[in-house]
Structure 1
Amino acid sequence: MRSIKAGKVGAVRTVELSAVVEARNNTGLSQPKFAERLGVSVRTLQDWEQDRRQPSRAAASLIKIARQRPDALREVFG
């Protein structure tokens, strides 16, 4: 325990978020709300977020908008 407190043991790891997670976080929406706005199921969104599946080109375009301009996505989809 002393070694851990002294910073002699352990490692710091950073986790890179997927573009889908980043886009959802930028909008401030929960998974169910974000999935609803994109017109997909929550399960599909989770698969995208965990890189088990890739979004279609149309969905990828919406995700890119949400990532770069979350205000625009909120404005269009309420």
Structure 2
Amino acid sequence: MDKEMEQFQKDLLDSVRQMKAGKGARKTQVALSPIAEARSRLGMSQSELADLMGVSTRTLQDWEQGRRKPTGAAQTLLRVAIAHPEALLDLKAA
């Protein structure tokens, strides 16, 4: 058997042992964008926040994922949402 296959088998066995011992090989953490974090604190879905802001859900998704940057009034409203999420809840209730 060649060395590459032997190494693969060894790594596979090590992985199985770690799984059985309850040890994960690595953890992946995903950092939320400030916009997604504010939305989460508001307890809103992407579509709910997009409706509140008067933009499409796709636009909000693009902001959250860094593909686009909000401009003008949307940028100001997002700064308020990040700093004072309760203010947006007041808007939603009105």
**Contact 2:38–2:85 under 8 Å retained in 1:** yes
* TM value normalised by structure 1: 0.83
Gaps of 5+ in 1: none
* More contact order relative to length (CA 8 Å, sep ≥ 6): 1
Partner of residue 53 from structure 2, selected from 38, 42, 58: 38
Gaps of 5+ in 2: 1-15
Indicate how the Cα distance of structure 1 residues 4 and 54 shifts in structure 2: closer, same or farther if over 3 A, else same: same
Match of 1:5 in 2: 20
* TM value normalised by structure 2: 0.71
Aligned length: 77
Whichever of the two has the greater Rg, that structure is 2
Match of 1:20 in 2: 35
CA RMSD of aligned residues (A): 1.6
Identity of aligned residues (%): 44
Deviation of the 1:60 alpha carbon: 2.0
Higher share in helix: 2
